[in-house]
Amino acid sequence: MLNQLTISELTAKLDRREVSAREATQACLDQIARVDGQVKAFLSYDAADALAQADAADQQIKADVQKPLLGVPIAIKDVLAVKNQPLKCASKILGDYVSPYDATAIEKLKAAGAIVFGRLNMDEFAMGSSTENSAFGATRNPWDTDRAPGGSSGGSAAAVVAQECIASLGTDTGGSIRQPAALCGCVGLKPTYGRISRYGLVAFASSLDQIGPFTKDVRDAATMLGVMSGQDLRDSTSIPAPVPDYAAALTGEIKGLKIGLPKEYMVGGLDPEVKASVDAAVKKYQDLGAEIVEISLPHTDYAVATYYIIATAEASANLARFDGIRYGARVEGNDPIELYSKTRGAGFGPEVKRRIILGTYVLSSGYYDAFYLRAQKVRTLIRNDFLKAFEQVDAIVTPTTPTAAFKLGEKSGDPLQMYLSDIFTISCNLAGICGLSLPCGFTQTPKLPIGLQLLGKPFGEETLLKLAHAYEQSTDWHHQFPTL
Amino acid sequence: MASAEIDVKYVAHLARLALSPDEEKQLGAQLGSILGYIEKLRELDVTNVEPTAHAVPLVNVTRVDAVQPSLPHDEAMRNAPRKAGGLFIVPKIVE
């Protein structure tokens, strides 16, 4: 089945004219028709448009055009602008919004020949860790449909693991790529802040957000990263650094690389099966020739509190634009203020309201220094922890999440418990480094994926991918998929 | 740091966010417990620590000051909830 292929497998077959892009796209559409009633990864998709893009790709293949993603169906989180497609951020407040332009990352995928299709479910405005905050219903974990796929990019992870697309895009503000990748069992990469332009990404927390790929293996993540990276004059925080050939880093040779094991991450609340799998992965790295060094990240325990001040403060400012004037849904009022308040009260869901209130509060007069400024200072301490550790080691290894996938509804009543499920992923965004999650095992009963997180230096994606690839090639976790 | 109490009604007004009385009550309780957790930042000494606004070492990024293509007017207005004659319709602002 063509929908089961990786990017590199599919492009090889397309190149040899063994299959067509139309057949590959149709295979994904057939899989969606077969399983998405259970998984609910897609909010919508336009089958005719996807097939038209596939036909155009087939014409180019026939003409011997060479592009890294030519004919590869890739689905998109509902927070990225794709021209003439709906964009809702899984919220009611955007109404029937249709994007008038492409995000830069999307432009680059299209220029690389990808078939860009579908809108993937997420927590509303990317705020959440389970997709239960979607205004259109939760996505299910393909390994156990009573469980959450993680979030906020839960639809993006579930769609790849349910083999409804070859790869997908998500975004990561505090773990929203790595955590669902871990809980669903695929590769999820959060590049360094500034690596991929955020133009056309609906902002949640502008100093933390980053776009990244969900893929079935590490090689595909390298391919996607290479296509989407680079400076963009429309995003002043995108970095003018050259884009390396990431695939060239996948040599399998990791002898002598130093991997740090932070002692603060292997304690309290860590599920024994998760711990055992991570321990085994660390052992595997030693067998492969890497050197394991115990390190300390002393401010780890403050990361969640710091994050929920900074992220909500930025969100409260960013979401001010949803006021019912220029786009989206509107509830009329007698004056502008009443119109704004009613529109926002009716349009935003509970978690978004909670974060807007918290963010407004920590920025409000009298509390700014005590909360927001203090959090920015602690952010410096957290970043310094990492920069210091990276003087000693090339990368850091941790569990991605403290437990495997939790049940739907299990944490949705207690926001703080939900926030604490991001404890291992959040520091990476605050520090502005890169991170990746890849499968490193399964729990016994029920069988649920376990994720290994690798954290790398700022713009250290090559080392991260090299280490991930070497481990992946010595295991078969990435060849296991759920039965749906 | 202030006590873990939020005047939800006042903050909701600042945020231009209409809340039902039930929502106000529920948010007040939840935010109380979240603020209680956040209080742990008080344990740290941050004297002489510079704040980090974002992690990228870039300053004063500017582009060439030249006219560049932008969205056509009708495309920019495409998603307006109410419009007429190429303008957004809004409630009366000045008497």
- Residue A263: count other Cβ atoms within 10 Å of its Cβ: 13
Rounded CA separation A164/A152 (Å)? 18
Rounded CA separation B51/B46 (Å)? 9
CB contact under 8 A, A375 and B41: yes
Q: Across-strand partners of A407?
A: A147
Residue B86 to chain A, least CA–CA distance (Å):
12
Confidence of residue B2 (pLDDT cuts 50, 70, 90): very low
pLDDT by residue (tens digit) across A121-160?
Answer: 999 999 999 999 999 999 999 999 999 999 999 999 999 9
Q: Across-strand partners of A434?
A: A456
CB contact under 8 A, A346 and B82: no
Q: Which of A398, A389, A373, A372 is nearest to A431 (CA)?
A: A389
Domain B1-45 is classified in which CATH homologous superfamily? Glu-tRNAGln amidotransferase C subunit, N-terminal domain (1.10.20.60)
Task: Provide, rounded to the nearest whole percent, the portion of chain A with pLDDT above 90.
Answer: 96
* Spacing of C-alpha A351 from chain mean position: 19
Six token digits for residue B48: 């002489």
Probe site for chain A from B1, B7, B52 (most A CB atoms < 10 A): B52
A vs B, Cβ pairs < 8 A, gives: 173
pLDDT by residue (tens digit) across A47-63?
Answer: 999 999 999 999 999 99
Under 8 Å between Cβ of A211 and A80: yes
Residue B46 to chain A, least CA–CA distance (Å):
6
State residue A136's pLDDT score. 98
Rounded CA separation B21/B25 (Å)? 6
Give catalytic residues of A, as residue numbers. 77, 152, 176
Confidence of residue B3 (pLDDT cuts 50, 70, 90): very low
Q: Is B94 on the interface with A (CB under 8 A)?
A: no
Strands A42-44 and A258-262: unpaired
Q: Tokens 């609906």 sit at which residue?
A: A202
State residue B5's pLDDT score. 66
- Residue A233: count other Cβ atoms within 10 Å of its Cβ: 15
Six token digits for residue B32: 């109380």
Rounded CA separation B52/A384 (Å)? 11
Residue ranges covered by each domain of chain A: 2-257+433-479
Probe site for chain A from B24, B56, B82 (most A CB atoms < 10 A): B56
Give me the mean pLDDT over the A106-117 stretch.
98
Residue B34 has pLDDT above 70, yes or no: yes
Residue A330 to chain B, least CA–CA distance (Å):
6
Tell me if the bond preceding A449 is cis, omega within 30° of 0: no
Under 8 Å between Cβ of A191 and A177: no
Q: Which residue of A has its CA nearest to B54?
A: A207
Nearest beta carbon to residue B15 from set A327, A346, A360: A360
In chain B, residues with a C-beta closer than 8 Å to the C-beta of A416 are 30, 33-34, 37
In terms of DSSP H, where are the helices of A187-271? 218-228
State residue A414's pLDDT score. 85
Mean pLDDT of chain A: 97
State residue A382's pLDDT score. 98
Give me the mean pLDDT over the A294-309 stretch.
96
Six token digits for residue A99: 């994007």
Q: Across-strand partners of A351?
A: none
Strands A449-456 and A258-262: unpaired
Q: Is B15 on the interface with A (CB under 8 A)?
A: yes
- ipTM entry: 0.94
- A181 SS3 class: helix
Nearest beta carbon to residue A353 from set B19, B71, B76: B19
Residue ranges covered by each domain of chain B: 1-45
Q: Which residue of B has its CA nearest to A414?
A: B30
Six token digits for residue A45: 């998709």
Residue A337 has pLDDT above 70, yes or no: yes
pLDDT by residue (tens digit) across A253-270?
Answer: 999 999 999 999 877 789
Confidence of residue B1 (pLDDT cuts 50, 70, 90): very low
State residue A465's pLDDT score. 98
Count of all residues that appear for chain A in the document? 484
Q: Across-strand partners of A196?
A: A229
Under 8 Å between Cβ of A179 and A437: yes
Give me the mean pLDDT over the A183-195 stretch.
98
Rounded CA separation A375/B37 (Å)? 13
Rounded CA separation A135/A126 (Å)? 12
CB contact under 8 A, B90 and A339: yes
Q: Which run of H or of E encompasses A355?
A: helix A350-363
Six token digits for residue A209: 């957000």
Probe site for chain B from A97, A231, A361 (most B CB atoms < 10 A): A361
Six token digits for residue A411: 């944490």
Q: Which of A395, A385, A420, A452 is nearest to A192 (CA)?
A: A395
In chain B, residues with a C-beta closer than 8 Å to the C-beta of A350 are 23
Under 8 Å between Cβ of A167 and A7: yes
Give me the mean pLDDT over the A212-238 stretch.
97
State residue A269's pLDDT score. 80
CB contact under 8 A, A432 and B54: yes
pLDDT by residue (tens digit) across A383-436?
Answer: 999 999 999 999 999 999 999 999 999 998 888 888 888 899 999 999 999 999
Q: What is the crossing angle of helices A47-62 and A21-39, to 10°?
A: 150
Q: Which of A390, A385, A396 is nearest to A282 (CA)?
A: A396
Residue A481 has pLDDT above 70, yes or no: yes
Give me the mean pLDDT over the A14-26 stretch.
98
Domain A2-257+433-479 is classified in which CATH homologous superfamily? Amidase signature (AS) domain (3.90.1300.10)
